[in-house]
Amino acid sequence: MSAMETLDNEIGDLQAKIAILQAHRANLSTILLSQPHLPARLEQRPVQHEGHRRKAAKLVEKQSKRNLENVYRACAGVTAFKVKDPDPYAVDDGNVLGVRIEVAISGRFIETYNVLFNRPDAQYKMMLKIHKHTIPPCIPLQALANKWLPMTRKDVETATEQNLVKFGRSLRKELVSWHMRLEAITKLRSEAGVEDEAARPEEAEEPAAGRVLNAFMSSDDESDEDDEELQRRRNSPVKIMELEADAAGREITLTWTNGRVGIMKVTKDGEVEKAVVKDEDGTRDAALGRKAIGRIEGLVQRLAA
């Protein structure tokens, strides 16, 4: 039994080692292929087989293309590319223009979003229409498209003005600000010392079903005053028990241990714009609500102060 285990462990170790070495090799070959003047040197030096030279040149070309693409993507944030639609019935012979938006948060590229356009109107070749996209529904894509990429109606003679650059710019702004809000909320959670509901590891005994949202008692049989847990909570110092946000990161709900609940509305650029804090008995805590107004980043500190 133990022999089997040790063997399994050894195999696992070896596989991990192989993976590390492979990654290392890939890294080294990338560095080698990215050497400046490599193509020129390949041309000049004699080789045994012409085929090897061609193969090497191909690899170098592939690498330099990738390098160029990555540099543009990393520096510009919004880049365009061409795609061919394989659909034989596609409009405009399947020519598709892709726009790629990179989102970078705190020094890392975390997500790439694509919008693919086609040209449905043979008469107005410059008119673009969104064909496919990977923008999540919490981004107002339709509204942005209505504004910057309006479609010409059939009976109108002149083409409507479209502005792809402004569309890309405003879409990127929406996406980046969305990710920044989510990032700020994750940070708030760790500041408040509450664990993320989604990040918690799956435990076998925990039910798949979550919290019941309408489990409040009707007022006529409210008799749980003697509940120990509630009593204990009331006596301990008040702190934030739960921090929840909607998927768009526009609304934050805070629950304190003493039953106080606060709802904050966040603007797209991360400003807490409106806040309502209510105590357990329903009275509004206006002072705390006023404290919440401001940048999203310092919310927990402001409320604790």
Partner 1 sequence: MAPNPKATVPDSKNIPHSHRLPANHREVQRIFSKLSRASLISLAIQWLAKKNRDFCRPFLLGDLGDEEEERDDELYTPAQSYEELQEIYKQLAGRKGGKREIQDRILEGDWRTGVSMYQLATADIQYLLDHTNSLRWTAKRLARIQGAKSAVLDMEVTNDSDHLPRFQAQTFMGNLARELTPLMKAHYLLMKVRTRPMTVLRVYMHDSPYSTESSLAADTGSDSARAVFFIWPNGSPFVYSSIANHLGQAIGDDGRHLRDIVQQAIPKAFSRPSARYQLAGTNFVTKSLDALLAYRGPGKSNAAAGGWGIFQDHSFSQNALDFITSQKGDPNEKPAASKPTAAPSKRALDPSETPEAKRKREIAEGRFGTSALPNDGRGLERFDIRIDDAFPQSSAQPDGNTSLPNNARPASRDRRKGRPSLLDRSMEEIEELQDSEAWVPDVRMVFQGSHVFAGIRQLVEQGIVDGEKMPAWMTGEAGVTVGVVKEGRIRMKKGNIPGV
Residues 10-29 that bind partner 1 (CB under 8 A): 15, 19, 22, 25-27, 29
The answer to whether 221 contacts partner 1 (rule: CB under 8 A) is yes
- Judged by beta carbon, residue 52 or residue 304, the one nearer partner 1 is 52
Among 8, 13, 93, 273, binds partner 1 (CB under 8 A): 273
Distance CA 172, CA 52 (A): 44
Q: Which of 261, 260, 244, 242 is nearest to 252 (CA)?
A: 244
Minimum distance, C-beta of residue 188 to partner 1, in the bound complex (Å) = 18
Please give the Cα distance from 254 to 45 (Å, whole number).
69
Radius of gyration of the chain from its Cα atoms, rounded to whole angstroms? 29
Q: Contact, 97 vs 128, CB < 8 A?
A: yes
3-class SS at 236?
Answer: coil
- Of residues 99, 127, 128, 130, which one binds partner 1 by CB under 8 A? 130
What 3-state class would DSSP assign to 296? coil
Using the rule CB under 8 A, is 114 a contact of partner 1?
yes
Note whether 248 binds partner 1 by CB under 8 A. yes
Among 206, 238, 290, 298, which residue interacts with partner 1 (rule: CB under 8 A)? 206
Among 53, 169, 172, 250, the residue binding partner 1 under the rule CB under 8 A is: 250
**Euclidean distance between CA atoms 97 and 75, whole angstroms:** 20
Binding mask 69-108 for partner 1 (x = CB under 8 A): -x--xx----------xxxxxxx------x-x-x-x----
Contact pick of 251, 279, 285, 297 for partner 1 (by CB under 8 A): 251
Buried residues in 141-159 as b, exposed as e (16+ CB within 10 A): beebbeebbebbeeeeeee
Among 5, 43, 50, 205, binds partner 1 (CB under 8 A): 205
Report, in Å, the least distance between residue 302 CB and partner 1.
Answer: 20
Q: Round to whole Å and give the CA distance between 167 and 78.
A: 11
User: Exposed, middle or buried: residue 117 (CB in 10 Å: 0-12, 13-18, 19+)?
Assistant: buried
Which residues, 132 to 191, sit near partner 1 by CB under 8 A? 132-138, 140-147, 151, 170, 174
> With binding defined as CB under 8 A, does residue 241 bind partner 1?
no
Closest CA to 112 of 124, 100, 130: 100
Question: In 3D, which of 90, 237, 100 has the Cα closest to residue 175?
Answer: 100
The nearest distance, CB 47 to partner 1, in angstroms, is: 20
Residue count, binding to partner 1 (CB under 8 A): 83
Smallest distance from the beta carbon of 59 to partner 1, in angstroms? 8
Indicate which single residue of 35, 67, 236, 301 sits in contact with partner 1 (rule: CB under 8 A): 67
